[in-house]
Amino acid sequence: MYRRGVLVSRVRTNVAGPARQIVARWLEMGRFDGALSRRLADVHARLARHAVARPLRVPMRADGASLFTITVGGATLGGSGRTRVALACAVELASRGVQVVLVGHAYGAKALAPRIVATSDALGIVGDEALACARALAAFPNARVVVGPTRQAAIDHAAALAPCVDAVVIDGPLQLAPERASLSILALDAEAPWGAGALPPAGDLRAPRDALLAHADHVVLVDTTPRGAAIDGNRVALAEIGAARLGIFTALARPERLLRALDRSGIVAKTIVRAADHGPLTSILRGRVLDAPVDLWLATEKCATHLDAIEPRGRVAILDGSLVLPEVLRDALRGSVPSNDAIRIAGARRTCPHMRGLTPRSAKPYSPGNTRNFR
């Protein structure tokens, strides 16, 4: 069976972290673009077009009701901001009282069995993105993060957690097959929405642009610029970060985008340590972090999970990568619980106690949220 990314899957799994970073960067830049790579990309495109919808099944809830399913996929092989969009959807639903489960992935880890992610879980078991999402959702008792050895195992575990689980947000696939998701969201990086504009090996696009848009109900542009930072639990604006000796630690697929965004915000770091996407923090990188003359380290929520096991010389400021979803998407999420139970955010009868008396909250739209703007 064809799997999306088949032309680069062996590179991603068999090549060491630094080499993988280089290959990913070259794909993003189109360094392999040429007559031969374009021919291979055309073959890849014909296959990838039929693989946008992943063969995943969302089972019925424990009480026999259907789960509202939201899928979030990215346009490129990395750096689209997909997980940030999935987390924003989970936060939006949880803040309205919906019982929501975010089905994450354990990239860079070994989840031997499906499990709910705890904020204190080991990085090597649940992965950095799932751990960061669990910490971001810790304030909501009605929101959980689940990972597993496979996405299907994680989905099955999520659906069986409790009779009143209303919605599942699946981070990864843009669409499901044979039964479509209730709501499909395509995440695009605001700086380079379609990456290098071609599929591997000529570029880093996951599937042809028209195929991605055809499977999406909404499109969200993701700005890499952090909204602020948290230092010792206190939120500060980027302009207020005044440490003389700044360091930046990343474990991202596209760290250059974050560095450019910070530079535009006036953040200049003397020390930059880059781990491979999802890590690991090697002994060499660990030594660089521990020995660096840094007063304040800047790291995203995901990247900061790799610093848990060490004590850097300077403090760690967690960059705020949270998103405000487009109003049109927020409107869709307001009615996102199963209609067969008549459990709705606004208006209809609610069968679960936690759904009673909810009122929508307002927020400034983040970006255009319909696919017509991108066709």
Pairing, β 296-300 against β 271-274: unpaired
| The pLDDT value given to residue 359 | 29
**CA neighbor of 316 nearest in space, from 249, 242, 225, 270:** 249
- Asked whether the beta carbons of 325 and 369 are under 8 A apart, the reply is yes
Q: With respect to residue 150, please indicate whether it lies within any of the assigned structural domains.
A: yes
Whether 240 and 338 map to the same domain: the answer is no
> What is the structure's pLDDT at 145?
98
In this predicted structure, what is the pLDDT of residue 357? 31
Asked whether residue 175 falls in the same domain as residue 87, the answer is yes
Residues 93 and 142 in one domain: yes
Q: 282, 302, 319 — which closes off a domain?
A: 319
Same domain for 146 and 252, yes or no, is: no
pTM of the predicted model, to two decimals? 0.85
DSSP H or E segment with residue 263: helix 255-264
Query: What's the domain range around 243?
Result: 229-319
> Can you tell me the distance from the alpha carbon of 345 to that of 333, in angstroms, rounded to the nearest whole number?
8
Q: Are 191 and 199 in contact (CB under 8 A)?
A: no
Residue 158 lies in a domain: yes
SS3 118: coil
With CA atoms as reference, report the closest residue to 106 among 89, 129, 137, 82.
Answer: 129
Q: Other CB atoms closer than 10 Å to residue 44's CB: what's the count? A: 25
Whether 121 and 259 map to the same domain: the answer is no
Q: How far apart are CA 203 and CA 221, in angstroms?
A: 20
Q: Are residues 120 and 63 in the same domain?
A: yes
Mark out the alpha helices in the chain (DSSP H runs).
6-14, 17-29, 35-48, 82-95, 123-126, 128-136, 151-159, 209-215, 255-264, 283-291, 301-304, 327-334
Q: Using an 8 Å Cβ cutoff, are 114 and 157 in contact? A: yes
CA distances to 190, 238, 288, 342 from 221, rounded to whole Å, are: 5, 21, 34, 32
Residue 1 lies in a domain: no
Which of 275, 291, 319 is the endpoint of a domain? 319
Alpha carbons 158 and 47: distance in angstroms, whole number: 30
User: Residue 63: what pLDDT?
Assistant: 78
Q: Are residues 189 and 329 in the same domain?
A: yes
Same domain, 246 and 274: yes
Residue 369's SS3 state is: coil
Q: Please tell me whether residues 67 and 179 are part of one structural domain.
A: yes
**Is residue 153 domain-shared with residue 42, that is, in the same domain?**
no
User: Pick from 278, 300, 319: which residue ends a domain?
Assistant: 319
Task: Give the number of domains in the chain.
Answer: 3
Q: Which residue has the tokens 């007063």?
A: 295
Shared domain for 190 and 118, answered yes or no, is yes
Block residue for tokens 């660089």: 288
| pLDDT tens, per residue, the chain with 375 residues | 334 443 433 333 334 556 766 777 777 777 788 899 899 989 999 999 999 999 999 998 877 788 999 999 999 998 899 999 999 999 999 999 999 999 998 888 888 899 999 999 999 999 999 999 999 999 999 999 999 999 999 999 999 986 578 999 999 999 999 999 999 999 999 999 999 899 999 999 999 999 999 999 999 999 999 999 999 889 999 988 877 799 999 999 889 999 999 999 999 898 999 998 898 999 999 999 999 999 999 999 999 999 998 989 889 999 999 999 999 999 999 876 644 343 433 333 233 333 333 222 233 333 344 565 666
How confident is the model at residue 336, as a pLDDT? 66
Are 163 and 286 contained in the same domain? Answer: no
Longest dimension (CA), the chain: 61
Question: Can you give the pLDDT at residue 6?
Answer: 38
